[in-house]
């Protein structure tokens, strides 16, 4: 049976390809380090490649920053801090941040395309979520720059100095915005390092910073792997460290900073539960589950990677979920029809596949969609596990892939205790028709963000951060200002 007939036979739909064009973007063959307002060659002369995970093609070579380069970047940031930036009126500082926001909006299509090429996420997400939210963060924090004393009545907010910022590969530009916008609004200067598999939109952001005319050295963007990140963390002249990434590296950073005067925020892993009560609107809940775990290939720290569903509707929910999974298109991230893009790297795919094997060894039943996936690049079909137990590693550990572990419950207390039974506490979801259940659950789920009858909704005004092993501190909203200030008086 050819593909067309198979789809017709399955009752599925065939969409004509609708790929976003790459004609409108430019990616240089090689990028230096953005230090002191210019792209400069790395001291070591070493570069590494960033590939497109959907095709395995090399997109560009980017510099590998040594500790000497980190030192140059921190010096440039310090010079800008002691010089123009801390002397500038707050309202002027705000104008620069607005300018970054506006240029990002103007260049949104280009940024979305590069984000999807470099990281593998569907263009629909980079276009509709990552890039607009990144611009929204700059707009939001630009507004705070000259109003900080209103955020902290009776106190005198003082900037910290140089912020060292290290971000992961799941939301490259958005994480850069989360880090840079509040830091600048509060009057700090920054040295930011993107993840090694997704450096390109951060380097493009460096161009935006330059085009916006920020004083040299206010924003420095340097590329490299874990050692470069460690050199930022351990640099004596860094006043604040902001990290988003794995809990393992978060622990290393926390140990390194213990006993220093550096302030820090750590956004780490998660193992969020979507708790579905029998009285929930089931079709909407199924969409919420799909959005929560298959969105961005499950490369989301607040992904709804566990489903805890009330027993009386469990069969219905699982069947509807399986039906919906069959309609999800896994493929070309640049195609506007794609639901699930490429896994970010070969090593992340290996991690996910090792959990798929582990789940089966642990005795759970695995179900994947039967749709075709491309043969080159890194891909994973949407996957669910049923028949899991609370102690299973696939229930306890962050997989960071499109993999959902499903459990059932009878009473609210049982659902709650299952939801809370992991080392993490970043986010959660509750689905029910009853407001009282929403209040009970949201008060008792130990997680930083809990959505009710929706999932994965973000807004710059809302704080984000974890309980337990999900991290320390909050980003976003007014809370996010506090992470970049000292309060005097």
State the minimum distance, in angstroms, from the CB of residue 48 to ligand NAI. Answer: 11
State the minimum distance, in angstroms, from the CB of residue 73 to Mg ion. Answer: 22
State the minimum distance, in angstroms, from the CB of residue 397 to Mg ion. Answer: 25
Q: What angle do CA 215, 221, 226 make, to 5 degrees?
A: 155
Question: Which range, of 180-188, 229-237, 369-377, 437-445, touches ligand NAI by CB under 6 A?
Answer: 229-237
Of the candidates 260, 279, 325, 275, the residue with the CA atom closest to the CA atom of residue 298: 325
Q: How far is CA 369 from CA 10, 111, 345, in A?
A: 13, 31, 21
Long-range contacts (CB closer than 8 Å, 24 or more residues apart) made by 361-367: 362/388, 362/389, 362/392, 362/393, 362/394, 363/387, 364/388, 364/392, 364/394, 364/405, 367/322
| Whole-angstrom distance, CA of residue 410 vs CA of residue 429 | 17
State the minimum distance, in angstroms, from the CB of residue 405 to ligand NAI. Answer: 15
Question: How many residues line the site for Mg ion (CB under 5 A)?
Answer: 3
Of the candidates 221, 202, 192, 185, the residue with the CA atom closest to the CA atom of residue 88: 185
| Whole-angstrom distance, CA of residue 291 vs CA of residue 180 | 27
Q: Interface residues for Mg ion in 238-277 (CB under 5 A)? A: none
Report if residue 197 touches Mg ion, rule: CB under 5 A.
Answer: yes
Please identify, using beta-carbon distances, which residue of 400 and 409 lies nearer to ligand NAI: 400
Please identify, using beta-carbon distances, which residue of 22 and 61 lies nearer to ligand NAI: 61
Report if residue 462 touches ligand NAI, rule: CB under 6 A.
Answer: no
Mask: binding to Mg ion, 117-146, rule CB under 5 A, as x and -? -x----------------------------
Quote the tokens at residue 99.
């300018």
Q: Give the one residue of 245, 341, 402, 480 binding ligand NAI; rule: CB under 6 A.
A: 245
Report if residue 301 touches ligand NAI, rule: CB under 6 A.
Answer: yes
Mask: binding to ligand NAI, 72-111, rule CB under 6 A, as x and -? ----------------------------------------
The owner of tokens 């909050």 is 474
Q: Give the one residue of 31, 400, 424, 464 binding ligand NAI; rule: CB under 6 A.
A: 400
Q: Give the one residue of 31, 33, 34, 50 binding Mg ion; rule: CB under 5 A.
A: 50
State the minimum distance, in angstroms, from the CB of residue 449 to Mg ion. Answer: 28
Report DSSP state, residue 130.
I
Per DSSP (E only), the strands in 313-459 are: 365-368, 383-386, 403-409, 424-425, 427-431, 449-452
Question: Which range, of 224-232, 303-311, 358-366, 440-448, touches ligand NAI by CB under 6 A?
Answer: 224-232
> How many angstroms separate the first and last alpha carbons of the chain?
76
Q: Give the one residue of 94, 119, 161, 229 binding ligand NAI; rule: CB under 6 A.
A: 229
Question: Which range, of 15-23, 156-164, 190-198, 312-320, touches ligand NAI by CB under 6 A?
Answer: 190-198
Q: Compute the radius of gyration of the chain from its Cα atoms.
A: 23
Task: Check if the beta carbon of residue 455 is closer than 8 Å to that of residue 274.
Answer: yes
């Amino acid at each position: 049976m050819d593909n067309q007939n198979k789809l017709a036979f399955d009752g599925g739909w065939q969409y004509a390809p609708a790929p976003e064009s790459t004609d409108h973007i430019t990616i240089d063959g090689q990028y230096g380090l953005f230090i002191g307002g210019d792209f400069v060659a790395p001291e070591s002369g070493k570069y590494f490649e960033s590939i497109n995970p959907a095709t395995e093609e090399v997109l560009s070579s980017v510099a590998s920053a040594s500790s000497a380069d980190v030192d140059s970047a921190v010096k440039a940031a310090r010079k800008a801090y002691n010089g123009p930036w801390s002397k500038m009126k707050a309202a002027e500082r705000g104008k620069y941040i607005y300018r970054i926001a506006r240029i990002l909006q103007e260049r949104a299509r280009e940024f979305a395309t590069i984000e999807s090429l470099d990281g593998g996420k569907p263009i629909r997400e980079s276009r509709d979520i990552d890039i607009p939210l990144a611009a929204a963060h700059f707009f939001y924090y630009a507004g705070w720059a000259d109003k900080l004393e209103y955020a902290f009545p009776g106190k005198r907010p003082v900037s910290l100095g140089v912020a060292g910022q290290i971000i992961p590969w799941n939301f490259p530009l958005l994480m850069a915005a989360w880090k840079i916008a509040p830091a600048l609004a509060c009057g700090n200067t920054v040295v930011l390092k993107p993840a090694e598999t997704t450096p390109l939109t951060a380097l493009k952001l460096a161009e935006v910073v330059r085009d916006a005319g920020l004083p040299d050295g206010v924003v420095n963007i340097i590329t490299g792997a874990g050692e470069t990140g460690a050199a930022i963390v351990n640099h004596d002249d860094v006043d604040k460290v902001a990290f988003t990434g794995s809990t393992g590296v978060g622990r290393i950073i926390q140990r390194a900073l213990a006993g220093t005067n550096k302030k820090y925020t750590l956004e780490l892993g998660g193992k969020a539960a979507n708790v579905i009560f029998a009285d929930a609107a089931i079709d909407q809940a199924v969409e919420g589950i799909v959005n929560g775990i298959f969105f961005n290939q499950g490369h989301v720290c607040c992904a709804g990677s566990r489903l805890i569903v009330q027993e009386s509707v469990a069969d219905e929910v699982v069947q509807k979920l399986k039906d919906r999974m069959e309609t999800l298109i896994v493929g070309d991230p640049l195609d506007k029809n794609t639901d699930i893009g490429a896994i970010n790297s070969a090593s992340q795919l290996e991690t996910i596949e090792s959990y798929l094997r582990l789940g089966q060894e642990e005795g759970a039943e695995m179900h994947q969609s039967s749709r075709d996936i491309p043969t080159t690049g890194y891909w994973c079909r949407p996957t669910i596990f049923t028949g899991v137990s609370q102690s299973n590693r696939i229930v306890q550990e962050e997989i960071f892939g499109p993999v959902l572990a499903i459990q059932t419950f009878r009473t609210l207390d049982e659902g709650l205790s299952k939801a809370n039974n992991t080392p993490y506490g970043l986010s959660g979801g509750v689905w029910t028709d009853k407001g009282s259940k929403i209040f009970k659950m949201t008060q008792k789920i130990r997680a930083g963000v809990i959505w009710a009858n929706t999932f994965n909704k973000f807004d710059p005004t809302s704080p984000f951060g974890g309980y337990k092993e999900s991290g320390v501190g909050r980003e976003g909203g007014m809370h996010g200002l506090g992470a970049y200030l000292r309060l005097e008086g």
